[in-house]
Structure 1
Amino acid sequence: MRIDTVRAVPGLSGFFFDDQRAIKQGATREGFDYDGQPATAGFDRIREAGESLIVELELADGTVVTGDCAAVQYSGAGGRDPLFRASEYRPVVEEKVADELRGRDATMFRQNATVVEDLDPARSDGDRLHTAVRYGVSQALLNAAARATGQTPAGVVSAAYRSEMAGSPVPVFGQSGDERRINAEKMLIKGVPVLPHGLFNSVEKVGADGEGLREYVAWLRERTDELGPATYSPRFHLDVYGILGEVFEPPYDRDEVVDYFRSLAEAAGPYPLQVEGPMDAGDRADQIRRMAQLRDGLADAGVDVDIVADEWCNTFDDVRAFVDAGAADVVQIKTPDLGGIHRSAEAVLYCDGTDTRAYLGGTCNETATSARACANVALATDAAQVLAKPGMGFDEGFMIVTNEMRRTLARTGGETTDSEHADGPYDGTRPTASDGGTRR
């Protein structure tokens, strides 16, 4: 079945664009807004309304499938593409992308997605498609292939990479936003497998000596015991946006830092703890070096806290670099930053067989369409965890991602209720050099 028509419609996303640099530099909250001047190129103010670009593909039988171009909340930070403006990229989709896709066989998902990747060669003038464009177009191509072949989107990805699908829902990671206590309590009552993110994005929240984060972990453990369902055993996952690197100077394997992480583990116990983005070194090479230093220091001291890569881990090549260096226990695969959604699948599969787990993440600033596509990729690649998105209200994103996985599993004969999750084997070949990388 061929692709006949390509359209693009400006839309909304599930949250906001925030200037992370300005926030880290001390911008003050004024209600829901921030007071101060933006510090990142492209921002007119520190907090701006999120945007998306809806991509519609009309197939030869008249069916219309969609995908949503969306970018992360903290656009332009940590080596990511700049702020995404839907109006700027609408003509790109309806002209350049459409010219390439019209008439192509809709069943050929991986090949079609690669064609879109090839529209943005790495040139010195920086003229390339924004990651958000590649992300949205590839979602539409995935849904087109599913429609044309009568499969689920997860089935399309599994067939394309010869991967073994998860037999039960992938553990969902809930994000609380700034309502880190109320929303965490919601998560506990609902038995969310991984929680609560926490949004510790300033020294004020973490504490000048890290005491605020430690007190929160102790509170979370107490409320887990009080509110969680019977036999509930969640994993705690906290994102600190590099702030611990401001509280503790390098080197990160010294006793002061290791002892602090030990205190976090003790506050969380008996529940496992993972900390995302402990520092932001300013570039990928230094970030990998410092993350590996911290991870080795914790391992040598027997401190059982997992370290999650986020800052400077954006593209497939970045994921590969962190995994190959052993710089993280978990890598966040930040789906909009990888561009095509097939790149996210490849990144998850690259982690298989290593001691690094794959967290299929993304951003609160996505849409229901992109969240459902990612839920299918998580099932197809059997990721370690998948983000509840979009939005920062928690309940809506958790519902969207969970229900999509259960619907998909009901169609494919899998277990539709949560059960103990185990990583399955990847029964197929690794991405080749032309696909984006080779194994070490």
Structure 2
Amino acid sequence: MTDHVIQDVLAVPVAGGYFFDDQAAIRAGAGRDGGRYLGSPVTPGFAQVREPAEAVSVLLRLSDGKVVVGDCATVQYSGVAGREPRLQAKELAEAIETRVAPRLRGLPVGRYRQADQTAQAICAAVLKNPLAAGYGLSQALLAAAAHVAGHEMMAWTLQQEWGIDTPLRRLPLYAQSGEARRGNVDTMIMKRVGVLPHGLINTPDLVGPDGDTLAAYVAWVAERIDTIGAADYAPELHFDVYGLVGAAAGGELDGTVEILLRLERAAGRHPIRIEHPIDAGSREGQISALAGIRARLAERGSRLRIVADEWANTVEDIGAFCAAGAADLIQVKTPDLGSLTNTVEAALCCAAHDVGVVLGGTCTETDVSARATTHVGLAIGATQILAKPGMGVDEPLMIVGNEMARCLRMDAWGRPGGRRG
């Protein structure tokens, strides 16, 4: 293998796909005026409750002249539930060029995991947002390793380095409606999205007393699928409720379960998943609450599946959720984990415990990070993969779906060494 090294590192502020929102301020009652939130921010790093999302593109120039790219990102609700603060793009780009770049020049890039380990250690030592920076750098380093291997297929590189030999397969795309909770559902159905609609159930009025409003919405989605969907179309229903089902039940597990059972009945024949049904305020509390909810659902014969999100931010966190039986699926939220190495390790941990992998991320990411994480999802065989970035439907479905299609066609064509997908 030719010894390719990093010749130089550039970083440039770019736009993210949606907005950064101060979740704490919103939960405290920040009002709305059209698309913006009113009031003062609560979470450090926010100048307003809602701010345009930012990202940072990292460009690595290799010794053979090839330039590879990765995008640094933080999630929409940064700085809460144990998450890293929202990135400030200009500040982070300058820090990468002045503090990280000198330490990366000359680094061999033929082996992804070795190069990434070095990059992550540098970021942890010198940056305020090491996870965001590590996320972007890992994408670029993975692209570099695939380039050195002579095939450019990041999914193949991941499988080779982790010894994964399962065939690549088409993954169900998971779309989120944003606030267009009805119109976007029609789009998803017409485009035969595999998992829908997310629903953005992020304010108490969208749940209603005893879950009335949310149950009505679930029933509408189920009916809409039956009305306009093709006869052979059978998607999974997935609603992210941001802990508000538990809030509607006053934080009581039994009351939370009653609402969840009501949602399951509203879904009719359609399988249903609920993400983050309750927020217990800490990792340990969240694990205990979700495990208790799952046990109660099982006692009632429910088939509703629980998806963990908040407080499952690291490989260690995800391992703890898995070991405690606290979730049927876990949202592996890629920017929170930082390096793509951590995403792979978290996914493999889930697989070892027979826990499903929602290969997620956030609406505030970019097209570059979305394409890179599509390769990760294919390599590890995720249960479902988020269509991102942005809060629409058409564009993220195109970005992730098209990248998946290209990868699968390449895999069917044949890998170096003769093994076919």
- TM-score by structure 1 length? 0.90
Could you tell which deviates more after superposition, 329-338 or 224-233?
A: 224-233
Q: Which residue does 2:139 correspond to in 1?
A: 139
Q: Which residue does 1:327 correspond to in 2?
A: 326
**Whole-Å separation in 2 of the counterparts to 1:294 and 1:406:** 38
Q: Which residue does 2:84 correspond to in 1?
A: 81
* Alpha-carbon displacement from aligned partner over 1:29-85 (angstroms, at most 9, x marks no partner): 101001111111111100001101010001112111100001100011111001210
1:42 partnered with 2:50: no
SS in structure 2 of the partner of residue 62 of structure 1:
coil
Alignment of 1:120-199 (within 5 A): 120=123, 129-151=129-151, 152-199=153-200
**Whole-Å separation in 2 of the counterparts to 1:11 and 1:192:** 29
Q: Is the 8 A contact 1:101 1:112 kept in 2?
A: no
1:110 partnered with 2:109: no
Could you tell which deviates more after superposition, 135-144 or 160-169?
A: 160-169
Task: Give the C-alpha shift of residue 375 in structure 1.
Answer: 0.3
1:59 partnered with 2:78: no
1:277 partnered with 2:276: yes
**Whole-Å separation in 2 of the counterparts to 1:326 and 1:188:** 32
Of 75, 96, 100 in structure 2, the residue corresponding to residue 97 of structure 1 is 100
**Whole-Å separation in 1 of the counterparts to 2:250 and 2:413:** 48
Task: Give the C-alpha shift of residue 87 in structure 1.
Answer: 1.4
SS in structure 1 of the partner of residue 117 of structure 2:
helix
Q: Which residue does 2:417 correspond to in 1?
A: none
Q: Which residue does 1:229 correspond to in 2?
A: 230
C-alpha spacing 1:304/1:334, structure 2 compared with 1 (3 Å): same
Gaps of 5+ in 2: 415-421
Alignment of 1:241-256 (within 5 A): 241-252=242-253, 254=254, 256=255
SS in structure 1 of the partner of residue 97 of structure 2:
helix
Task: Give the C-alpha shift of residue 121 in structure 1.
Answer: 5.0
Task: Give the C-alpha shift of residue 226 in structure 1.
Answer: 1.4
Could you tell which deviates more after superposition, 226-235 or 177-186?
A: 226-235
* Alpha-carbon displacement from aligned partner over 1:193-226 (angstroms, at most 9, x marks no partner): 0011100001011113211110000000000011
**Whole-Å separation in 1 of the counterparts to 2:15 and 2:87:** 12
Task: Give the C-alpha shift of residue 88 in structure 1.
Answer: 1.5
Q: Is the 8 A contact 2:72 2:132 kept in 1?
A: yes
Q: Which residue does 1:213 correspond to in 2?
A: 214
**Whole-Å separation in 1 of the counterparts to 2:157 and 2:103:** 21
C-alpha spacing 1:206/1:251, structure 2 compared with 1 (3 Å): closer
Q: Is the 8 A contact 2:245 2:256 kept in 1?
A: no
Task: Give the C-alpha shift of residue 361 in structure 1.
Answer: 0.3
Letter in 2 for 1:136: G
C-alpha spacing 1:22/1:97, structure 2 compared with 1 (3 Å): same
Task: Give the C-alpha shift of residue 167 in structure 1.
Answer: 3.2
Q: Which residue does 1:433 correspond to in 2?
A: none
Could you tell which deviates more after superposition, 64-73 or 160-169?
A: 160-169
Could you tell which deviates more after superposition, 105-114 or 324-333?
A: 105-114
Q: Is the 8 A contact 2:251 2:278 kept in 1?
A: no
Q: Which residue does 2:394 correspond to in 1?
A: 395
Q: Which residue does 1:355 correspond to in 2?
A: 354
Alignment of 1:247-266 (within 5 A): 247-252=248-253, 254=254, 256-266=255-265
Q: Which residue does 2:302 correspond to in 1?
A: 303
Task: Give the C-alpha shift of residue 250 in structure 1.
Answer: 3.8
Task: Give the C-alpha shift of residue 228 in structure 1.
Answer: 1.6
C-alpha spacing 1:388/1:322, structure 2 compared with 1 (3 Å): same
**Whole-Å separation in 2 of the counterparts to 1:271 and 1:140:** 40
Q: Which residue does 1:292 correspond to in 2?
A: 291
SS in structure 1 of the partner of residue 40 of structure 2:
coil
Letter in 2 for 1:5: D
Q: Is the 8 A contact 1:169 1:402 kept in 2?
A: no
Could you tell which deviates more after superposition, 11-20 or 92-101?
A: 92-101
Gaps of 5+ in 1: 416-440
Number of aligned positions between the proteins: 410
Q: Is the 8 A contact 1:164 1:381 kept in 2?
A: no
**Whole-Å separation in 2 of the counterparts to 1:225 and 1:36:** 42
**Whole-Å separation in 2 of the counterparts to 1:299 and 1:236:** 19
C-alpha spacing 1:414/1:37, structure 2 compared with 1 (3 Å): farther
**Whole-Å separation in 2 of the counterparts to 1:353 and 1:340:** 21
Q: Is the 8 A contact 1:119 1:128 kept in 2?
A: no
Q: Is the 8 A contact 1:283 1:312 kept in 2?
A: yes
Q: Is the 8 A contact 1:371 1:401 kept in 2?
A: yes
Which has the larger helix fraction?
2
Task: Give the C-alpha shift of residue 128 in structure 1.
Answer: 5.1
* Alpha-carbon displacement from aligned partner over 1:236-280 (angstroms, at most 9, x marks no partner): 00000111121113441x2x4333222211111211100001111
What is the RMSD of the two structures over their aligned residues, measured on CA atoms? 1.6
SS in structure 2 of the partner of residue 119 of structure 1:
helix
Letter in 2 for 1:268: A
**Whole-Å separation in 1 of the counterparts to 2:44 and 2:209:** 29
Q: Is the 8 A contact 1:168 1:414 kept in 2?
A: no
**Whole-Å separation in 2 of the counterparts to 1:250 and 1:22:** 20
Could you tell which deviates more after superposition, 74-83 or 256-265?
A: 256-265
* Alpha-carbon displacement from aligned partner over 1:364-390 (angstroms, at most 9, x marks no partner): 000000000000000000011110000
Q: Which residue does 2:405 correspond to in 1?
A: 406
Task: Give the C-alpha shift of residue 284 in structure 1.
Answer: 0.5
**Whole-Å separation in 2 of the counterparts to 1:98 and 1:244:** 46
* Alpha-carbon displacement from aligned partner over 1:76-114 (angstroms, at most 9, x marks no partner): 111100121011112321133222321122211111111
Aligned residues: percent identity? 46
**Whole-Å separation in 2 of the counterparts to 1:357 and 1:257:** 22
Q: Is the 8 A contact 2:87 2:129 kept in 1?
A: no
Letter in 2 for 1:134: G
C-alpha spacing 1:273/1:141, structure 2 compared with 1 (3 Å): same
